[in-house]
Amino acid sequence: MNQGLQFDDTGRLRHLLTIEGLSRQTILEILDTAESFISVGQREIKKIPLLRGKTVVNLFFEFSTRTRTTFEIAAKRLSADVINLSVGTSSTAKGETLLDTIRNLEAMHTDLFVVRHGESGAAHMIARHVPPHVRIINAGDGRHAHPTQGLLDMFTIRRHKGDFGKLKVAIVGDILHSRVARSQIHALKALGVDELRVVAPKTLLPTAVEKLGVIPCSRMEDGLDGVDVVMMLRLQRERMQGAHIPSEHEYFNLFGLTPVKLALAAKDAIVLHPGPMNRGLEIDSAVADGPQSVILPQVTYGIAVRMAVMALIMGGSPGRREETHPVAASRARAVVTTRKRK
């Protein structure tokens, strides 16, 4: 369904709007490329000239520190020129439409827009209306998708757990309002995990969520039992206002990830969180800072994954790499440690 918009006529990834519709092969391609970029961040000179002369605009209609910063670092490591725009407070407040904002920036010859917007479908709408040479990466749209977060979570899981086919995974928290959860679900389904559960009170589970191929659970005991990966979500503190939960205290008691609840999972289970964390609300500090947590590595991997996505859509062709391909060529230079995969 998304194929039309995300891919060009030859099947190359043109925009990254959502993980839904990406093949297993395409996702692995991105993860493999990201592996090759990990080393760039470890070098003395953290730059490769892949996107030299290209202009990347980080267009954020919603406040963000982490995502915007990692996109900025990723683009700079690829030698692109980066401009950060927080539009929430400027032109849209003056009544300019979203499309007018994009058209204006386009007239400044931008090659790639990284877009975050509070409305689901904003990135799709923009992608539909930009000329063919302009690329869009969705950095989060409403409750819909946050594909680079989903991809960096997959990268993290693969690094620490390996083969997806054997894994039982639980996503815990505010599934209803979470774009991260939707992207994780599509990615994990495409990669063929053994079992995927979503755990939340019924007030925070979307209707018909099982149609996405997940098993809904409303008790941590059922949700965490024997899982290899626990993916926590951030809970907005204002959810009490919509009568979704009674209090932070009760939420933490029932759904907060404590060492006791984590003990229900497999012994070597890992814990992920997209950040920023609410310690004492959805996660206990003892877990967040504990040995099973991979929350900080997630941030490091996020840069490599975002570099990979940018490199691939700006010049790459997942699935049909050639030796002369810019990514392949740079990889030949940049790769220091590439993990062997089957």
Partner 1 sequence: MSLVIQGGHLIDPANRVNGEKNLYIDDNGFVVGVGKSPPGFKARITVKAQGKIVCPGLVDLRARLREPGLEYKATIESEVHAAVAAGITTLCCPPDTLPVIDTPAMAQMLQSRAWRFGLAFIHPLGALTQRLEGKLLADMEALDEAGCVGFTNALSPVTDTLVMRRALEYAATLDLTVFLHAEDPWLRNGGCVHEGEIGTRLGLPGIPEAAETVGVARDLALIEQTGCRAHFCGLSSARAAAMVAAAQKKGLPVSADTTAHHLHLTEHDIGDFNTLCHVRPPLRGRHDREGLRKALANGIISAICSDHQPHEPDAKLAPFARSEPGISALETLLPLTLRLVDEKLLTLEEAIARLTHQPAQIIGVETGHLGLGATADICIFDPEARWTLIEDRLVSRGHNTPFLGQTFHGQVTHTLVGGKLVYESPPA
Choice from 15, 68, 144, 158 touching partner 1 (CB under 8 A): 144
Structure tokens at 326: 């810019």
Choice from 34, 80, 122, 294 touching partner 1 (CB under 8 A): 122
Q: Does 129 bind partner 1 (CB under 8 A)?
A: yes
Beta bridge partners of 199: 172, 217
Tell me the residue length of the chain.
Answer: 342
Choice from 20, 32, 174, 284 touching partner 1 (CB under 8 A): 20
Distance (Å, whole) CA 319 – CA 210: 30
Where do we find the tokens 């559960």? 197
Structure tokens at 216: 């809904």
Catalytic residue among 116, 144, 159, 177: 116
Q: Does 93 bind partner 1 (CB under 8 A)?
A: no
Q: Does 106 bind partner 1 (CB under 8 A)?
A: no
User: Do 152 and 203 touch, CB atoms closer than 8 A?
Assistant: no
Q: Enumerate residues 274-293 that contact partner 1 by CB under 8 A.
A: none
Distance (Å, whole) CA 19 – CA 192: 14
Distance (Å, whole) CA 153 – CA 232: 11
Q: Smallest gap, in angstroms, from Cβ of residue 259 to partner 1?
A: 32
Q: Answer yes or no: 54 catalytic.
A: no
Distance (Å, whole) CA 151 – CA 154: 5
Distance (Å, whole) CA 147 – CA 306: 10
Catalytic residue among 146, 186, 261, 306: 146
User: Do 235 and 174 touch, CB atoms closer than 8 A?
Assistant: yes
Catalytic residue among 10, 89, 94, 267: 94
Q: Smallest gap, in angstroms, from Cβ of residue 275 to partner 1?
A: 20
What count of other Cβ atoms lies within 10 Å of the Cβ of residue 2? 16
DSSP H or E segment with residue 58: strand 55-60
Residue whose C-alpha is closest to residue 153's, from 124, 116, 127, 179: 179
Q: Answer yes or no: 166 catalytic.
A: no
Q: Does 91 bind partner 1 (CB under 8 A)?
A: no
Tell me the site size for partner 1, rule CB under 8 A.
28
Q: Answer yes or no: 76 catalytic.
A: no
Q: Smallest gap, in angstroms, from Cβ of residue 181 to partner 1?
A: 9
Catalytic residue among 26, 33, 67, 101: 67
Distance (Å, whole) CA 9 – CA 111: 19
Choice from 97, 104, 253, 285 touching partner 1 (CB under 8 A): 97
Choice from 88, 121, 315, 326 touching partner 1 (CB under 8 A): 121
Q: Does 119 bind partner 1 (CB under 8 A)?
A: yes
User: Do 290 and 257 touch, CB atoms closer than 8 A?
Assistant: no
Q: Does 73 bind partner 1 (CB under 8 A)?
A: no
Q: Does 116 bind partner 1 (CB under 8 A)?
A: no
Q: Answer yes or no: 66 catalytic.
A: yes
Q: Enumerate residues 191-250 that contact partner 1 by CB under 8 A.
A: 206-209, 211-212
Q: Answer yes or no: 325 catalytic.
A: no
What positions carry a catalytic annotation? 66-67, 94, 116, 146
Footprint on this chain of partner 1 (rule: CB under 8 A): 1-2, 5, 20, 97-99, 117, 119-122, 124-125, 129, 141-145, 179, 182, 206-209, 211-212
